[in-house]
Each structure stands twice: as structure tokens, then as C-alpha cells.
């Protein structure tokens, strides 16, 4: 059974040049070393460009576990590369290779880190690029170192004479490369162990405080890198004293330095306050709706009065063309500041000077009373 990672390793063009570099250093074959470095550099650049172009044009942009698993190398990856490379060179050197080379391919995984580095470049996520490329560097260096060790252990013949001072210098360079490669991985490995321990302690801690003084722990969020914990509770609001007691209890689970914050997911007090606020808003909405309806009725009334006045003017001008203006409006009658239950309709008529006599006005009054029989009419003339 193989995965895409395993298949990538089995067709990887990198394993040979890396073993070639290790073998050439062990046997002091500088010609082979230069050739291996050249082939290795070409393979790395080609693989990196290919993966970058692929992820740049691919519609898939989400980082899956296969990618994320290769962005945080640790000291454990150093050990995997070292022993995997050792198994590989021993298998290559023996007549009975069996399934060791596929096993080394699976263990050391040279191509997937390069693909992840290409993904980081294509998506402009440099933390992915540097993390994956560092893992690739670890694999490269320690496969090569294991190849050097295996070649010396198997006592492969020296290909060229070299002075002791040159050997010493080569060994110093190798030691420096090992230190530069391994020191960050030790730090990352320590951080990983510390984060795992933090996660485990938080799990035990949250089980202990899942029910706290009438509050139930709905959920929690943690950030192991920054030692932050967010507790999401349902129940009554937390007091400062309750929060401090929870922080004190965290010290019993080796979480004394953790930054603990609280979020009220569902508070009875808040719920009651919210319901009261909802009732208040409902009453306010009802009041505003009633006010809006009153204003709408007033507007319709004014619009109707304007239409009545316009029609009256057209009708009355057909009989009395000397009338130039007419106004119609409904109003209340107030007696000692109290509004009468019988409102009045005011009609204002303006005509040319002395163009309407008493008889004309009387006829107009009778005509309007017939037109509005149920209305308390108040007529005013101006001429």
C-alpha cells in the first residue's frame, strides 16, 4: 500500500545525488562530489519550479494535512533522516536490497517537503516555504551524513590522496553543517513537546471545571504556541472573584503561566435583560407604527381636502367665473380650550371686487349645503 507521498519518493531524482554526495565525501572523490552537487541542484530547482507552477495554476488553494505536516520540522525528523539514510546506503551497497529502498523513501520523504515549499511560494505563505525547505534541508544533510558514515563503516576505497589538514578541514565543515542544521530542530522539538504537554494539561483542566458554580463549560479554545486559553461558559455571569478562582485552579494542572480569558456563551442574566429589551423595543415599534398611521391618515386627509377644493373651484367657476380662488379644509372648533365633537369645514371664496351680490352668495351657500349635507360648513367671502 502506498500513498502519493510514497510514490513521489520512489520516482524522486534526489536520492541518488544525495547518496552520491555522501559517498564522494567519504571516499574523497571530488569529481563525483561536484557531479552529485550539480545533479542535486538541478533536481531541486526543477522540482521547486514545477511544484510552484502547479499550485499557482491549481484551483485548490487549501493547505491539507499532507502539506501542514511538513512545515514544522523537529529533532525527530533528524533521527528519521539519519537512520533512513543509513538504511538506504546499506541497502544500495548490499546484494539483497529487498524492500528497504521503498522504506527509506517513505521514511525520509524528500519530494513532499519540496512540494510544500512550492505551495508556500505559489500562495505567498513564506512560513510554509521556510518550514518545508528546512525539513528538506534536514533530510538532505542527514541522509548525506548517514551515507558518509556507512561508506566509512563499509571501508569503501579512497579515490584520491588527500592531506591530513584537508581531511580535518572537511570534517570541521561537516560538523558545522550538522550543528547549523540540528540546533533549530532541537528547539522546535522542545517547543512541540511543550505544546503537546500544554494541550494535555488543558484537556485535564477543562474536565475539572466543566461545571463551575452553576455554569457549564460549552466550549474552549487554546493556542499552545502562545499559552492562551479561552473558556466559553453558559449560565450566570462570572464575577471577577470566580474568574480568579478558576485561574488559581489552573495552577494545579501546570497552567499557572497560561493566559485565561472568559466568554459568556449563554447567560441567564443577559437573557433576561435581552428579553426586557425586546419587550421595550416591541412597545416602541407599536408606538411608532401608530404614530406613522396617524401621520398617514393626516396626509390622506390633506390630500383629500386639496382634491375637494380643486373640484369645487372648477364647478363653481363654471357658474360664477368671477370667482378666482377657493380653499377647503376640515378643522376642529375649540370652546374654552376644549375641542368640539362636531368639527367644521371651512370654505374660503375670493372673487373680483363687488362681483358677487347677496343673492349670489346665498345661492352658493345653498349649493354647498346640498353638496355637503352632513357637514358643518363655515363660509368666508373676500371681494
Q: Tell me the domain boundaries of the chain.
A: 4-193, 209-302, 320-382
The grid coordinates listed for 130 are 521556510
- Whether the model clears a pTM of 0.95, i.e. scores above it, the answer is no
Cβ–Cβ < 8 Å for 85, 104 = yes
Q: What is the pLDDT of residue 174?
A: 87
The sheet carrying 211-212 orders its strands as 211-212, 215-223, 228-235, 259-267
In Å, what is the CA distance from 272 to each residue of 85, 164, 317, 371?
Answer: 67, 86, 68, 60
The grid coordinates listed for 151 are 561508506
Q: In which band, very low, low, confident or very high, does the pLDDT at 106 lie, cut at 50, 70 and 90?
A: very low
92 vs 166, higher pLDDT: 166
Q: What is the pLDDT of residue 314?
A: 85
- What are the tens digits of pLDDT across the range 338-369? 655 567 778 888 888 888 888 888 888 888 88
Q: In which band, very low, low, confident or very high, does the pLDDT at 140 lie, cut at 50, 70 and 90?
A: confident
Could you give the CA distance from residue 77 to residue 136 in angstroms, rounded to a whole number?
10
- 116-120, 203-207, 269-273: the lowest-pLDDT one: 269-273
Q: In which band, very low, low, confident or very high, does the pLDDT at 35 lie, cut at 50, 70 and 90?
A: very high
Could you give the CA distance from residue 170 to residue 356 in angstroms, rounded to a whole number?
129
Could you give the CA distance from residue 120 to residue 136 in angstroms, rounded to a whole number?
14
pLDDT at residue 38 greater than cutoff 90: yes
pLDDT at residue 147 greater than cutoff 50: yes
| 3-state secondary structure at position 1 | coil
Task: Count the residues in the chain.
Answer: 383
CA 18 to chain centre: 41
Q: 216 has which bridge partners?
A: 211, 234
- 167-181, 245-259, 297-311: the lowest-pLDDT one: 297-311
CA 176 to chain centre: 42
Q: What is the pLDDT of residue 255?
A: 87
For the chain, percent of residues with pLDDT exceeding 90 = 4
Q: What is the pLDDT of residue 2?
A: 43
Amino acid at each position: 500500500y502506498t500513498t502519493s507521498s510514497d510514490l513521489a519518493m520512489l520516482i524522486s531524482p534526489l536520492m541518488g545525488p544525495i547518496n552520491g554526495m555522501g559517498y564522494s565525501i567519504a571516499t574523497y572523490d571530488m569529481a563525483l562530489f561536484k557531479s552529485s552537487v550539480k545533479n542535486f541542484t538541478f533536481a531541486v530547482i526543477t522540482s521547486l519550479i514545477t511544484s510552484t507552477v502547479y499550485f499557482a495554476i491549481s484551483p485548490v488553494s487549501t493547505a491539507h494535512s499532507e502539506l501542514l505536516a511538513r512545515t514544522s520540522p523537529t529533532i525527530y525528523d533528524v533521527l528519521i533522516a539519519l537512520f533512513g539514510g543509513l538504511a538506504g546506503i546499506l541497502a544500495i551497497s548490499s546484494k539483497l536490497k529487498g524492500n528497504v529502498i521503498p522504506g527509506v523513501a517513505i521514511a525520509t520523504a524528500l519530494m513532499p517537503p519540496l512540494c510544500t515549499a512550492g505551495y508556500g511560494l505559489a500562495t505567498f505563505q513564506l512560513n510554509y516555504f521556510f518550514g518545508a525547505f528546512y525539513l528538506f534541508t534536514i533530510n538532505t544533510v542527514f541522509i548525506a551524513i548517514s551515507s558518509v558514515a556507512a561508506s566509512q563503516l563499509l571501508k569503501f576505497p579512497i579515490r584520491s590522496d588527500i592531506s591530513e589538514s584537508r581531511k580535518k578541514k572537511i570534517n570541521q565543515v561537516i560538523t558545522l553543517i550538522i550543528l547549523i542544521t540540528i540546533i533549530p530542530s532541537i528547539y522546535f522539538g522542545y517547543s512541540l513537546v511543550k505544546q503537546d504537554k500544554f494541550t494535555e494539561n488543558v484537556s485535564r483542566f477543562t474536565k475539572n471545571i466543566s461545571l463551575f458554580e452553576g455554569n457549564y463549560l460549552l466550549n474552549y479554545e487554546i493556542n499552545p504556541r502562545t499559552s492562551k486559553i479561552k473558556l466559553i461558559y453558559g449560565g450566570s455571569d462570572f464575577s471577577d472573584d470566580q474568574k480568579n478562582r478558576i485561574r488559581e485552579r489552573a495552577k494545579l494542572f501546570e497552567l499557572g503561566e497560561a493566559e485565561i480569558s472568559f466568554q459568556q456563551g449563554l447567560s441567564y442574566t443577559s437573557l433576561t435583560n435581552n428579553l426586557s429589551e425586546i419587550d421595550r423595543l416591541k412597545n416602541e415599534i407599536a408606538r411608532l407604527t401608530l404614530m406613522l398611521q396617524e401621520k398617514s391618515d393626516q396626509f390622506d386627509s390633506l390630500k383629500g381636502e386639496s382634491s375637494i377644493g380643486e373640484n369645487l373651484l372648477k364647478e363653481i367657476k363654471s357658474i360664477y367665473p368671477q370667482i378666482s380662488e377657493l380653499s377647503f379644509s376640515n378643522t376642529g372648533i375649540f370652546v374654552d380650550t376644549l375641542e368640539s365633537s362636531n368639527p367644521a369645514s371651512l370654505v374660503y371664496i375670493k372673487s373680483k371686487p363687488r362681483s358677487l351680490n347677496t343673492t349670489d352668495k346665498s345661492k352658493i351657500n345653498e349649493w354647498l349645503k346640498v353638496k355637503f349635507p352632513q357637514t358643518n360648513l363655515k363660509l368666508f367671502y373676500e371681494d
